[in-house]
Amino acid sequence: MQYRKLGKTNFQVSEVSLGAWQIGGSWGDVSDKDAERVVHAAIESGINFIDTADVYGDGRSERFIAKVLSETKEQVFVATKAGRRLQPHTVDGYNRANLTAFVERSLKNLRREVLDLVQLHCPPTGVYYEPEVFAVLDELKQAGKILYYGVSVEKVEEALKAIEYPGLATVQIIFNIFRQRPKDLFFPLAQQRDVGILVRLPLSSGLLSGKITRHTAFAADDHRNYNRHGEQFDRGETFSGVDFDVALDAVEEIRRVLPDGISMANFALRWILDHEAVSCVIPGARNEGQVVQNVAASALPPLTAEQMAALAKLYDTKIRSLVHQRW
């Protein structure tokens, strides 16, 4: 496993880390046993950074992480998120009282005295124009409740605005073969400001593993069933917002440039890691096997110039018009 500096935190994080949404909910059934094994396998594989949120399974994900970490001596940096418990989810809700209550709840779930990193959880765009919200985060830092804060964004413009706040340590954003826009303007600016970049949906909700077909059945409580058109939350969070049929055709094109002996999931993760501004990828996993396989991407050589060019062409011809100006 290779490690990279996480922006202003100075923490060295595993470049392949873990997304823990799956062990909370919204991905069909993931048993308690599998959820625990996912976290244990991650730690055993050298992963030292886990991304979760207070709303994943209404705290189930945070509580599993706390339980497993209580059984190991390894130092693991846990990033959680706050904001999505708000109903309605409005700019006004991001105030001192609510943010403090969310942080206190996560401290309890995670069994910590201080949270390593709290990310605003894809807040409405208006939040980025309210310096008071970021002042509250500074206060929580000064009060010793959180070590660092960051944001998880839907849009590149939100990321560009967020990095204007000097206290911001990290930005979490969707970046994968189907969502290439962040690298153009945002990555160099984030690097200049020493802001860490956490890459979510690295496998485009599993599409970029190459295993999903038109016949794949998703459970009723899997968002790939109920949020394909943004019915419950931002459409971009499911399959990166790319039309399912178009994406499946694009996956077949990727298969044509895939080198022998490398899984498509590893190839897709390696493509992201070849961008040096990225601090780590946080692929979600529903079982131990996926964790172990994803970690292998760290040991692969970089993609060749020809492979990079083929993936750039695929994006430009098949995907760009569907996503580039939307997020």
124 is a contact residue toward ligand NAP (CB under 6 A) = no
**Is the distance from CB of 66 to CB of 111 less than 8 angstroms?**
yes
Q: Which of these segments, 88-96, 110-118, 128-136, 285-293, binds ligand NAP (CB under 6 A)?
A: 285-293
In the range 200-259, which residues lie near ligand NAP by CB under 6 A?
200-206, 209, 211, 237
Cα 43 to Cα 33, 40, 69, 73, 77, distances in angstroms: 16, 5, 9, 10, 11
In the complex, minimum distance from the CB of residue 85 to ligand NAP, in angstroms, rounded to a whole number:
13
279 is a contact residue toward ligand NAP (CB under 6 A) = no
Q: What does DSSP assign to residue 51? A: E
179 is a contact residue toward ligand NAP (CB under 6 A) = no
Instruction: Based on DSSP, count helices (H) and strands (E) in the chain, helices before strands.
Output: 12, 10
The strand pair at 77-82 and 115-121 is best described as parallel
Check residue 206 and give left, alpha or beta (phi > 0: left; psi -120 to 50: alpha): left
What mask, x for binding ligand NAP by CB under 6 A, covers residues 70 to 109?
-----------x----------------------------
In the complex, minimum distance from the CB of residue 305 to ligand NAP, in angstroms, rounded to a whole number:
25
Q: Which of 282, 295, 303, 314 binds ligand NAP (CB under 6 A)?
A: 282
**Is the distance from CB of 16 to CB of 280 less than 8 angstroms?**
yes
Beta bridge partners of 152: 121, 172
In the complex, minimum distance from the CB of residue 186 to ligand NAP, in angstroms, rounded to a whole number:
16
What mask, x for binding ligand NAP by CB under 6 A, covers residues 8 to 37?
-----------xxxx----x----------
**Is the distance from CB of 29 to CB of 285 less than 8 angstroms?**
no
Among 1, 150, 144, 121, CA closest to 54: 121
294 is a contact residue toward ligand NAP (CB under 6 A) = yes
Q: What is the contact surface with ligand NAP in residues (CB under 6 A)?
A: 19-22, 27, 51, 81, 121-122, 152, 172, 200-206, 209, 211, 237, 265, 282-286, 290, 293-294
